[in-house]
Amino acid sequence: MTRAALQALLSHWVRSPFQLAMLLAGLALATALWSGVQALNTEARTAYATAESLLGGGNAARLTAPAGQIPESEFARLRRAGWDVSPVVEGRMAMGQTRVTVLGIEPLTAPAGGTSEELVAPDVTDFLAGLGFAHPQTLDEIGPRALDLRPSQAVPVGTVLMDIAQAQALLDKVGFITHLTLAPVQRDGLTPLATLAPDLRLTPPEDGADLAGLTDSFHLNLTAFGLLAFAVGLFIVHSAVGLAFEQRRTMFRTLRALGVPLRHLALLLAAELALFAVLAGVAGLALGYLMAASLLPDVAATLRGLYGAPVPGALQFNPAWAAAGMAMTLAGTALAGAQALWQLWRLPVLAPAQPRAWAHAGMRSLRLQGGVAVVLAITAVILAQTGGGLVTGFALLAAALLAAALIMPLVLAGALALGQALARGPVAQWFWADSRQNLPRLSLALMALLLALATNIGVGTMVSSFRTTFIGWLDLRLVAEVTVTPRTPSEASALQDFLQDHADAVLPTQRMDARLAGQPGQIYAMKDHATFRDSWPLLDAVPQVWDRLAAGEGVLINEQLFRRAGLRPGTAMLDLPELGGVPVLGVYPDYGNPRAQAIIGQDLFRATWPETPISQFALRSETPQALIAVIQDEFGLPSGQITDQAQAKALSMSIFERTFMITGALNVLTLSIAGIALFAALVTLSGMRLVQLAPLWALGLTTRRLAALELARALVLAGLTLLFALPVGLMLAQILLAVINVQAFGWRLPLQLFPADWARLALWAGLAVLAAAVPPAYRLWRYGPNQLLRVFAHEK
């Protein structure tokens, strides 16, 4: 019995291979997008773990000096006093064809448990003699090299690990170290560090390279996109399964009438679905892997550029990832197929198989959907009111999007009813009535299309708003024509003297790490200069902000700090180390910086932290190229230490372009999935529609006219969907800009409208819909008479 029944069930797919292909494609694409995004996330997280475990698993505290570096003698002094500390030298430098972070450690005192220990211990003599380690990708980037470097996956990308003495020599920091790592367990009864070394500051472990925390928001964004694409894919599966169920209704009835028990039939259908899920899941995982591999270089560049997180550009295969992806596919298929199985369960043996009965049931479920949509919309409003937290932000996003998707069929039904009421001729009236009748069958595909279009509009608006705002902001922030980064404090002071006579203005950057309102951040010094007064962008400020800043009467803070700590200019005070509470004078946008930042007047800064070295010079000059040449001649600075404005701008822009390329790629994929969904629905529908169209043909409508009407229907429905998608997309953009971005990055961007983008999207969507609608319409036109006649020929 099982074999015969299964054969009968599967025969449906043999007779409609196209539908099977669509079902599998939808499932495979959904799996691909979801698992692809997960692969990217896993890869990045592995990279963070690598970076943190390199030096004692990220749980070692650090000792740093405000001046930026510590004399080597301090290390010896602390060791003699009994403290278990180890020196580290860290710095950026050009090596081969790239720039790397050189990390110098002292293997004998390095904290136990770090990856470096395992790496170095077997070859400690070679290491002390100059052997270094780097990620294979870093070695490739460096190219031919003079140093003895060995490949190792345990070293973060972009870092070269070597002995401290060699690093000091390479970085021109002989006699200095960057920081001291403090072993987690220390002997009892030691002289406290505060007495022993009052100048050194203790940074708790979590303030250090907490890359996972910093980049969480980025990954959450990716995950949200993956989930959305997965949901769109499930819409396809759901509609394909539903349609196949609809078409096999008679078969189910016959099978049951012939004595196949209901439970048995349900089990067979579930097994059939599971088989499809496994087949599509495997294909989807392969696709997802390919997708992730091709996107990883961009993701890696973004993470490196935006957060300094070392992520390699090549993907590893991870079996746990594959298993999780497969589980997601199975769960998704179960979810998508549940309704069909439930319907089968409740199907009376003699249920009518007429199209409108089904449509009526469809209308009932549309109303149910409307109810759910209203509940979701209310939830969204409540979430928007209460606010707070990135997860709440995403919940708001999901609730709002889902509410819009669920309510859309009702809106469409209303629009079609209006069309019917306004229609004059009999054919026009039929056109609208018939579109309404077939709406339930198309609504899932249209919802998928809506989600894809709204995401496109929403994300597109966010990206374009961001780009416009960001470019304007860069122009204001990067007014200095040239920036120079000195390699050592002595070079800094030499540069200072030299530049006075060569540049129109010298604006030195001094900064120090500090906790601001409880968050890790930095304090900058700002010289009182027309450059800043004229162009430094401010979101909000007290009157005479620049005079008061120059007079040392207060502090400017970045938007991130302003939003997280709720510090309003004019009323709020910010606690600064040494200075205590300082009035907040203004807030400035600081896009792309994940941390808190504060600016005080240069005089106040120098009086408070006199030993802080100058980390960079911003230079004004009418002849920047000549200035660069002069500095290079005089100081022999490598090109990486001198940047002209155009270069800096291009660099910043390229980081953001790559970030948004990822979302762009996901956008395109989501839209194509929706296109496929529509295609699948239209093709499946066209087979079922013959019975509906045959009477019209017999009544004297040519197949050409019928085909044209079918095409028009698809375009009308897609057009209405696009119209509906526009406000939904803008709502999405507003949530992204005003809620998600604020929560994730700490800045809010003004919503800007880009109608040209919408027109382009409408064009693409129109083409996608035409591509989906033309083949079935063409078939109706060309082969219609034969097929339509069959309806009447087989009537008995």
Partner 1 sequence: MTSALTIERLCKTFGKGPDAVQVLDNANLEVPQGQSLALTGESGSGKSTLLHICAGLEPFDSGKVVLAGHDIADADDHARATLRRGTVGLVFQQFNLVPSLSVAANLSFQARLSGRHDPDFVAELAQRLGIAQLMSRYPEQLSGGQQQRVAIGRCLAARPRLVLADEPTGNLDEATGDAVLDLMMELAAQAGTALLLVTHSTRLASRCNARVHLRAGKLQVPV
Positions touching partner 1 (CB under 8 A) are 352, 354-357, 425-427, 429-430, 433-434, 436-438, 691-692, 694-705, 785, 788-789, 791-793, 795-796
CB burial of 249-265 (b: ≥16 within 10 Å; e: otherwise) equals: beebbebbeeebeeeeb
Considering beta carbons, is residue 146 or 699 the nearer one to partner 1? 699
We find the least distance from the C-beta atom of residue 796 to partner 1, in angstroms, to be 7
Structure token pair of residue 35: 């698992």
We find the least distance from the C-beta atom of residue 363 to partner 1, in angstroms, to be 12
Considering beta carbons, is residue 546 or 697 the nearer one to partner 1? 697
Evaluate whether 576 touches 524 at the Cβ level (below 8 Å): no
**For residue 197, which phi and psi values (nearest 5 degrees)?**
-140, 75
Question: Cα torsion at 491, 493, 495, 500 (round to 10°)?
Answer: 180
We find the least distance from the C-beta atom of residue 366 to partner 1, in angstroms, to be 16
We find the least distance from the C-beta atom of residue 253 to partner 1, in angstroms, to be 16
We find the least distance from the C-beta atom of residue 710 to partner 1, in angstroms, to be 14
Evaluate whether 511 touches 539 at the Cβ level (below 8 Å): no
What's the distance, Cα to Cα, between the start and end of the chain in Å? Answer: 29
Considering beta carbons, is residue 189 or 700 the nearer one to partner 1? 700
> At which residue do the structure tokens 């009835």 appear?
253
Structure token pair of residue 367: 């109303």
Considering beta carbons, is residue 418 or 626 the nearer one to partner 1? 418
Secondary structure of 185-249 in the HEC alphabet?
CCCCCCCCHHHHCCCCEEECHHHCCCHHHHHHHHHHHHHHHHHHHHHHHHHHHHHHHHHHHHHCH
> At which residue do the structure tokens 């309704």 appear?
339
We find the least distance from the C-beta atom of residue 241 to partner 1, in angstroms, to be 24
Residue 321 buriedness (CB in 10 A; 0-12 / 13-18 / 19+): buried
Evaluate whether 469 touches 737 at the Cβ level (below 8 Å): no
What is the helix (H) or strand (E) element at residue 743, kind and residue range?
Answer: helix 741-744
Considering beta carbons, is residue 390 or 791 the nearer one to partner 1? 791
Apex CA 380: angle with CA 375 and CA 384, to 5°?
A: 150
C-alpha 292/C-alpha 746 separation (Å) is 28
Considering beta carbons, is residue 770 or 789 the nearer one to partner 1? 789
We find the least distance from the C-beta atom of residue 342 to partner 1, in angstroms, to be 23
Structure token pair of residue 104: 């110098």
We find the least distance from the C-beta atom of residue 436 to partner 1, in angstroms, to be 7
Apex CA 617: angle with CA 612 and CA 622, to 5°?
A: 160
We find the least distance from the C-beta atom of residue 30 to partner 1, in angstroms, to be 32
CB contact set of 331 (below 8 Å; sequence gap of 6+) = none
C-alpha 422/C-alpha 18 separation (Å) is 37
> At which residue do the structure tokens 């994940």 appear?
594
Considering beta carbons, is residue 430 or 498 the nearer one to partner 1? 430
We find the least distance from the C-beta atom of residue 18 to partner 1, in angstroms, to be 24
Cα distances (angstroms) measured from residue 610 to each of 24, 246, 457, 604, 607:
68, 79, 51, 10, 6
We find the least distance from the C-beta atom of residue 438 to partner 1, in angstroms, to be 8
Considering beta carbons, is residue 92 or 779 the nearer one to partner 1? 779
Give the residue ranges of DSSP H helices in 81-210: 115-120, 124-128, 136-142, 164-171, 193-196
Structure token pair of residue 154: 């345990």
> At which residue do the structure tokens 């693409």 appear?
764
We find the least distance from the C-beta atom of residue 694 to partner 1, in angstroms, to be 6
Cα distances (angstroms) measured from residue 675 to each of 395, 435, 486, 671:
26, 19, 55, 6
Considering beta carbons, is residue 552 or 687 the nearer one to partner 1? 687
Cα distances (angstroms) measured from residue 651 to each of 130, 158, 639:
34, 17, 15
Max Cα-Cα span within the chain: 104
We find the least distance from the C-beta atom of residue 447 to partner 1, in angstroms, to be 22
- Listed residue (219, 161, 220) closest to 43, CA to CA: 219
We find the least distance from the C-beta atom of residue 435 to partner 1, in angstroms, to be 8
Evaluate whether 249 touches 290 at the Cβ level (below 8 Å): no
Evaluate whether 603 touches 552 at the Cβ level (below 8 Å): yes
We find the least distance from the C-beta atom of residue 789 to partner 1, in angstroms, to be 6
C-alpha 128/C-alpha 106 separation (Å) is 9
We find the least distance from the C-beta atom of residue 361 to partner 1, in angstroms, to be 12
Evaluate whether 233 touches 447 at the Cβ level (below 8 Å): no
DSSP state of 740: I
We find the least distance from the C-beta atom of residue 445 to partner 1, in angstroms, to be 19
